[in-house]
Structure 1
């Protein structure tokens, strides 16, 4: 069955059928019992200098680059920088040394505000302005991201920011109301300089797994427990964000709703249930059909799709997005700088494996000190492997296309 036909099926059936009974919460107080959370980020500066930028190779047919092709003006090192996202603490009044190194020395073109801040909108705007000022004027505009889901996953608070309820409460509202509220929340983010929100969660959590589902259900991050509820609420949230000029990121494909462990804190998180044709996947298909331009991958392993790799490193998982669901936007990893589920690989291998699988953005939010290693590895691989270099180029084109729309 094709992706389009499966999506049509889920939209027709989920209205009457209920299911049988990566960022994640940070330092906000949590319930007294239950799964543990990920430790705080470690951000130590890297003193290793980056190699001198190499000139961009001329096209193989000898033709001059198209003048309206922004990627043509970038060196390989600058292209690689467009594929990396470095985290910096949202509560600080200055960009972390590690992220400063990533942007200044390794051309990293995207930042993520992580942790928890009560500083308010004006202070956040000052931090964002400081981060974006690190890039040269000729560089493409930055993606400036955060996690503003609601409930226990709300990075930015204080004067100028609304208090967002948990997704389970948002799901009780009519979609029109949720879209209006999300437009307000998105406008606050946009006023602070944020243009990318790593939300909403579109993981489908069965009712029977709500409390046992460590990464999503336990923290009430899910929009109900039926496909219809998730689709209606998450797409309304996304529409509100987009109306405010902020791009949402639907996550965590192909779904974390059926696992019991948290990939941030646990190795070898495995889902033995979800397949390419599962309702969990079709929920994301509905989000894509509704206009999502960013999808975040899960760090779990899906044995029915690719038993050998976490989704974030899996060409088979990416193929479901690209081929079955027809997604032509930007694919981003969950955090791969400090997550336990990917700790068996060195940071360099995590970045290379993700891009090799077809990912466009590699998120190093919790520990940006690993970004130089990632950047150097991506450059080296692209220099040695023309096929990989072509993957880098394709990813850069997708990232720059979205940036151009946001900047416009």
Structure 2
């Protein structure tokens, strides 16, 4: 998400390559791009025929064993309060086989209490062919005014602007510590780092990012080096990171969480502000979050989150991203309020997205039913959805949430 008003949301120096076990594939070799390597095995986004790895076979095996509703559930991430989880909302996620959760709001209860919550959610995860398919448990742990989890065991993380003033080696080292804290709390995916470039001329007049000092700096060079360092630290501690908010929220004024019709009339497909995303993708970023703004010089007719030009064209084809494409919040954000609930999911997935984020789980039933209906009617959509499920399962394999051993 961008900031949830009192922001709760919303991803270089030398590129780091981390040592991995013999059985681990690099992200590039596994079809997830790049050279941050992970400590967990990675699988291709879609099954290869002749040279399948054992991990690819595992993803295929789990996919084959899933029911239709279980597959569709892997395409959704539902919000749960980190401090006061609502059992009715948790039950909705379980009923619809939702495969990922977002810890939202603010919690000061520390790592142990957060781990207890995460473990209780994991205990409800689906089992397929005798193997539990673990949940992606995510949060917004950027720093400054956007740090969902705090209290005993969690560092107080400074703002993006402060992090951007550090050396990349210091940031990478600190980020590895923050990621290790999340890991100990049962969180395996961070919806960070912020890769948005806010020009100095706009500064705090930029509603979603600059207002809260969420940016690493005001130039593409600083944001690129530091978003990469942040992501590399997370890769070191084996927590998945997310570059956001593609193709950048640095040149807008309105905050898409609280404002309709936010338009970027500056950014093009070759703008320097795209550089942090391009570099992060080359370095192996496993997730990219798509913005809810409209980019008039890229696709004036669609919000980025609903634009195949942005997702399939610019992100997938031009930048070569093969990982998981996650939406910004399609639940409560004012930017999508005029779009019917079911269409938010359908339009994002049709545009090439993989994982629908809604901070309001009560919207999941309408969304999943619409997806199932469309799959039954449209073979091309069904194929696209199957590829998205494979990407999500591949990310789970990478996070150690999927095992066929």
TM-score of Structure 1 vs Structure 2, range by shorter chain: 0.7 to 0.9
What is the match of residue 61 of structure 1? none
What is the match of residue 24 of structure 1? 3
The TM-score, its normalising length taken from structure 2, stands at 0.84
What is the match of residue 395 of structure 1? 388
SS of 2:127 mapped into structure 1: coil
Whether the 8 Å contact between 2:327 and 2:353 is mirrored in structure 1 is: yes
Shift of 1:136: 3.1
Whether the 8 Å contact between 1:95 and 1:131 is mirrored in structure 2 is: no
Whether the 8 Å contact between 2:227 and 2:276 is mirrored in structure 1 is: no
Shift of 1:26: 5.4
What is the match of residue 118 of structure 1? 108
Note the 1:256-295 alignment, pairs <5 A. Answer: 256-295=249-288
- 2:79 corresponds, among 87, 98, 105, to 87
User: How well do the aligned residues superpose, as a CA RMSD in angstroms?
Assistant: 1.7
Whether the 8 Å contact between 2:4 and 2:257 is mirrored in structure 1 is: no
Deviation >4 Å, runs of 4+: 25-29
SS of 1:307 mapped into structure 2: strand
SS of 2:399 mapped into structure 1: helix
Whether the 8 Å contact between 2:139 and 2:148 is mirrored in structure 1 is: yes
SS of 1:295 mapped into structure 2: strand
Larger Rg: 1
Runs of 5+ in structure 1 lacking a partner? 1-21, 30-36, 39-65
Whether the 8 Å contact between 1:90 and 1:115 is mirrored in structure 2 is: yes
CA distance in 2, matches of 1:201, 1:359: 19
CA gap 1:246/1:352 in 2 versus in 1, 3 angstroms: same
The TM-score, its normalising length taken from structure 1, stands at 0.83
Shift of 1:23: 3.8
CA distance in 2, matches of 1:72, 1:326: 27
- 1:135 corresponds, among 119, 125, 129, to 125
CA distance in 2, matches of 1:28, 1:263: 12
Whether the 8 Å contact between 1:351 and 1:362 is mirrored in structure 2 is: yes
User: What is the aligned length?
Assistant: 350
CA distance in 1, matches of 2:206, 2:272: 17
SS of 1:379 mapped into structure 2: helix
What is the match of residue 47 of structure 1? none
| Larger displacement relative to structure 2 (259-268 or 271-280) | 271-280
Whether the 8 Å contact between 1:28 and 1:116 is mirrored in structure 2 is: no
- Give a deviation string over 1:240-270, Cα, whole Å, max 9, x none: 1111111110100000000000000000000
- 2:184 corresponds, among 191, 203, 219, to 191
Whether the 8 Å contact between 1:360 and 1:398 is mirrored in structure 2 is: yes
CA gap 1:329/1:228 in 2 versus in 1, 3 angstroms: same
Note the 1:130-279 alignment, pairs <5 A. Answer: 130-138=120-128, 139-279=132-272
- 2:329 corresponds, among 332, 335, 341, to 335
Runs of 5+ in structure 2 lacking a partner? 11-55
CA distance in 2, matches of 1:23, 1:233: 19
CA distance in 1, matches of 2:324, 2:87: 26
Whether the 8 Å contact between 1:89 and 1:96 is mirrored in structure 2 is: no
